[in-house]
């Protein structure tokens, strides 16, 4: 590995550890202490046993034996209790860290610019982070695990070397005619054989770990497919389609194919583990035999005591284990860095939108004038303009309907108005000032919006309306009644405190699509912003029902400024002005009557193509 690559890998590990510290400050110190005690624990018995054996073989001092046994038992007891306590504490801290990590990722999604939320690359990045965590704990969580293994390996190897090194000098002081067994040449041969065997064993371990991680990347893909099938089948909302369209075989065949592919990869992993495990076991046996022969010969010739046989053999075996542990940690850290990089890349997605500093004037009369001036826009990463040269002014208290065919740019117009995106060309003005100059959050507070893909959550009805944990119960009830939900509200067992859906509460109620739309409208009313926007939230309703809701909502809005977006023209006849969008441009503007007089206009064409829905006799 090149030096620059090593620096990059180390830097990623450092950044990951810094992130872990932010998520839970105590988890790293506790991990270090726990790993140290865990790695040092075997050496207590190795070292103390050697002293006890020497005492039994030589002096046989009963008092000293009792003291040594007492120290051994006490140390083991203390370390055991500490490990148990730290283990429970570490599990708790890791759990808190995991929860904080989820919150950090969710907060990032909420706070990032909306253009990133709609970016497919950002979605893929978030999915990869989640898959890595679900499959093999990859990412920040795995970094802590491998860091723990690294500390353990370092301590084991370091302690083993300290205890072993004196073995190569033992006996020289008592025998000046150094024999072959105690000669430097014999020691060098032993160390060389031990090093060669250990290095080759570590290479096998390295190859095994790399194959394992490589295979896991394939497993992650199959896991994604498996989760899709599992979620679709288990989601009660999919139950109707699965039964009505007899999709059982479709799901079973797809799931079976995925499981077979997964099993094939899993069999390859098992086969590789068996192959490398057999080689590793054979070499480990040879090395262990070599150790026992070397130490045994030194003991027979009197160069080391019987107790030291226990110490040296135990320490050398621990050295082999520590080397393997250390290599596993290094390979794991290096491989896991790709997941740490994904995590950091996600957190480092920077906002590109200028947030502004100018405060929005608070007006009791709600006199806010909106103007689009030569606005053009294309979505990031595309070359085709969605909107081109849009110029439009909406006066205070007016109703503006935006109509047009699907894909004509209506929703994009609203996204620009709400600063979910900024124009590529031109400007949008609020009371004559570019909206980019206003404080972003204050500007957003001017709008109550219901998008066509609005979302209700599995919280209480009141919390859905207020978009808040705390709310005015009476005001929520009044708003729901105004939105046309009086009858349904009277049947809810806990009133506005009734939970929607059954995801979190078995007493939750299921609501129809029409009821959901009325709740979304109530949420817009509860916000009580000076500018109301309805972006086809009733598109799933029939034209008559849509017209009734829009008309009722128009009464409730009162003197507020309102935008109504629809591809159904009848719903917007009451508006002061209608803007007709076509292929990203405003091709017509005027009242319903004025636009119908232009028999060659787009509005006339759309109106008569939809006239069958608005025939009064049919109604």
Q: What's 317's domain CATH number?
A: 1.20.1560.10
Whether residue 564 sits in one domain with residue 487: no
Residue 360 lies in a domain: no
Residue 168 lies in a domain: yes
Q: Between 501 and 256, name the one with better pLDDT.
A: 501
pLDDT digits (tens, 9 = 90+) for 108-145: 888 888 888 888 888 878 877 887 777 666 788 889 99
- Shared domain for 541 and 399, answered yes or no, is yes
Question: Where is average pLDDT lowest: 128-132, 140-144, 576-580, 595-599?
Answer: 128-132
Q: How confident is the model at residue 174 (pLDDT cuts 50, 70, 90)?
A: very low
What integer pLDDT is reported at residue 97 of this predicted model? 92
Per-residue CA distances from 432 to 284, 370, 440 (Å): 80, 8, 17
Average pLDDT over the chain reads: 81
**Where is pLDDT greater, at 547 or 445?**
445
Residues comprising the chain, all counted? 619
The CATH number assigned to the domain holding 375 equals 3.40.50.300
Q: Looking at the predicted structure, is the pLDDT value of residue 383 above 50?
A: yes
Residue 79 is assigned to a structural domain of this protein: yes
Closest CA to 352 of 117, 590, 137: 117
Tokens of 224: 């994604």
Domain boundary among 347, 379, 394: 347
pLDDT score at 177: 45
Q: Last residue of a domain, which of 347, 379, 403?
A: 347
Confidence of residue 401 (pLDDT cuts 50, 70, 90): confident
| 317/283 same-domain check | yes
Do the domain assignments include residue 357?
Answer: no
Q: Which residues pair with 562 in a beta bridge?
A: 399, 532
Residue range 495-552, pLDDT digits in tens: 889 898 887 878 888 888 778 888 888 898 888 888 888 887 666 566 666 666 766 7
Same domain, 202 and 296: yes
Q: Is residue 375 located within the same domain as residue 429?
A: yes
pLDDT at 545: 64
pLDDT band of residue 616 (cuts 50, 70, 90) is: very low
Rama region for 60: left / alpha / beta (φ>0; ψ in -120 to 50; rest): left
> According to the model, what pLDDT value does residue 184 have?
67
Residue 612: CB atoms within 10 A of its CB come to 9
Whether 74 maps to a domain, the answer reads yes
Q: What is the DSSP letter of 438?
A: B
pLDDT of 40: 92
Q: Examine the domain organization and report whether 606 and 552 are in the same domain.
A: yes
Residues with Cβ within 8 Å of residue 609, at least 6 apart in sequence: none
- Tell me, yes or no, whether 18 lies in a domain: yes
Tell me if 557 sits within 8 A of 473, measured CB to CB: no
The lowest-confidence range among 173-182, 333-342, 491-500, 548-557 is 173-182
The reply to whether 301 falls in a domain is yes
CA distance 571 to 486: 23
pLDDT in tens, 224-250: 666 666 666 656 566 666 666 676 777
Percent of the chain with pLDDT over 90: 20
Digit-coded pLDDT (tens) for 581-591: 999 999 999 88
Q: Domain check: are 263 and 341 in the same one?
A: yes
pLDDT score for 608: 81
Instruction: Tell me the average pLDDT across 270-294.
Output: 72
The domain of 582 spans 370-456+511-613
- With respect to residue 365, please indicate whether it lies within any of the assigned structural domains: no
Same domain, 62 and 210: yes
Bridge partners (DSSP) of residue 400 are: 563, 577
Q: What angle do CA 445, 446, 447 make, to 5 degrees?
A: 90
**pLDDT value of residue 322:** 86
Token digits of residue 153: 């390996």
- Predicted pLDDT of residue 51: 86
Per-residue pLDDT of 27-80, as tens digits, reads: 999 999 999 999 999 999 888 888 888 788 776 777 888 888 899 899 999 999
Burial bucket for residue 569 (CB in 10 Å: 0-12, 13-18, 19+): buried
pLDDT band for position 217 (50/70/90)?
A: low
Q: According to the model, what pLDDT value does residue 149 have?
A: 93
Residues 582 and 529 in one domain: yes
Of residues 263 and 478, more confidence is placed in: 478
Which of 447, 481, 508 is at the close of a domain?
A: 508
pLDDT of the residue at 257: 76
Of 11-20, 202-211, 256-265, 324-333, the one with minimum mean pLDDT is: 202-211
Report percent pLDDT > 70 for the chain.
Answer: 80
What is the torsion angle, in degrees rounded to the nearest 10, for the CA atoms of residue 152, residue 157, residue 160 and residue 162? -110
| 572 in the same domain as 467 | no
The answer on 440 and 467 residing in a single domain is no
How many structural domains is the chain composed of?
A: 3
Residue 176 predicted with pLDDT over 70 = no
CB 588, CB 595: distance < 8 Å: yes
Q: Is the pLDDT of residue 358 over 60?
A: yes
In this structure, are 475 and 537 located in the same domain? no
- Give residue 81's pLDDT band: very low, low, confident or very high (50, 70, 90): very high
User: Given the DSSP bridges, would you call strands 577-582 and 399-404 parallel, antiparallel or unpaired?
Assistant: parallel
């Amino acid at each position: 590995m090149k030096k620059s690559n090593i620096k990059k890998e180390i830097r990623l590990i450092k950044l990951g550890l810094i992130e872990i510290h932010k998520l839970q400050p105590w988890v790293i110190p506790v991990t270090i202490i726990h790993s140290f005690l865990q790695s040092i624990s075997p050496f207590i018995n190795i070292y103390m046993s050697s002293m006890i054996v020497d005492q039994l073989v030589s002096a046989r001092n009963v008092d000293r034996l009792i003291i040594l046994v007492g120290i051994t038992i006490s140390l083991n007891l203390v370390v055991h209790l500490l490990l148990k306590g730290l283990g429970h504490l570490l599990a708790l801290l890791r759990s808190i860290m995991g929860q904080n990590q989820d919150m950090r990722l969710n907060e990032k999604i909420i706070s990032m610019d909306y253009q990133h939320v709609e970016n497919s690359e950002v979605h893929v990045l978030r999915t990869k982070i989640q898959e890595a965590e679900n499959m093999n704990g990859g990412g920040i969580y795995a970094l802590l695990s491998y860091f723990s293994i690294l500390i353990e390996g370092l301590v084991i190897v370091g302690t083993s070397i300290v205890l072993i090194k004196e073995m190569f000098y033992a006996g020289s002081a008592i025998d000046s005619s150094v024999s072959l067994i105690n000669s430097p040449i014999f020691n060098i041969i032993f160390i060389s054989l031990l090093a060669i065997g250990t290095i080759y064993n570590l290479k096998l371990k390295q190859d095994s770990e790399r194959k394992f991680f490589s295979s896991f990347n394939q497993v992650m893909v199959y896991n994604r497919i498996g989760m899709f099938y599992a979620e679709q089948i288990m989601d009660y909302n999919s139950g109707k389609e699965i039964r009505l369209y007899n999709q059982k075989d479709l799901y079973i065949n797809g799931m079976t194919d995925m499981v077979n592919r997964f099993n094939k990869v899993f069999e390859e992993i098992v086969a590789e583990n068996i192959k490398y495990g057999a080689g590793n076991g054979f070499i480990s046996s040879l090395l262990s035999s070599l150790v026992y022969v070397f130490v045994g010969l030194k003991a027979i010739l009197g160069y080391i005591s019987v107790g030291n046989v226990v110490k040296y053999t135990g320490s050398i075996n621990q050295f082999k284990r520590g080397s393997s542990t250390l290599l596993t940690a290094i390979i794991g850290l290096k491989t896991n860095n790709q997941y740490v990089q994904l995590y950091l890349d996600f957190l480092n997605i920077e906002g590109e939108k200028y947030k502004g500093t100018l405060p929005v004037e608070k007006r009791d009369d709600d006199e806010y004038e909106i103007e689009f001036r030569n606005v053009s826009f294309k979505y990031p990463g595309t070359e085709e303009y969605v909107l081109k040269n849009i110029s439009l002014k909406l006066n205070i208290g007016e109703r503006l309907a935006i109509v047009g065919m699907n894909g004509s740019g209506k929703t994009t117009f609203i996204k620009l108005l709400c600063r979910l995106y900024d124009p590529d060309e031109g400007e949008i003005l609020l009371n004559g000032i570019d909206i980019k100059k206003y404080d972003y959050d204050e500007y957003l507070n001017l709008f109550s919006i219901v998008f066509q893909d609005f979302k209700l959550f599995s919280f209480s009805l009141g919390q859905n309306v207020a978009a808040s944990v705390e709310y005015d119960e009476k005001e929520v009830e009044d708003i729901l009644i105004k939105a046309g939900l009086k009858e349904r509200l009277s049947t809810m067992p806990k009133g506005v405190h009734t939970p929607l859906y059954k995801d979190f509460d078995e007493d939750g109620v299921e609501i129809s699509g029409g009821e959901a739309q009325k709740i979304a409208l109530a949420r817009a009313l509860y916000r009580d912003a000076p500018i109301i926007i309805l972006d086809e939230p009733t598109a799933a309703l029939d034209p008559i029902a849509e017209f009734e809701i829009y008309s009722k909502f128009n009464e409730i809005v009162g003197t507020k400024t309102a935008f109504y977006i629809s591809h159904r023209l009848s719903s917007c006849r009451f508006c002061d002005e209608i803007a007709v969008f076509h292929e990203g441009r405003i091709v017509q503007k005027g009242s319903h009557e004025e636009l119908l007089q232009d028999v060659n206009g787009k509005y006339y064409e759309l109106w008569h193509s939809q006239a069958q829905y608005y025939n009064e006799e049919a109604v």
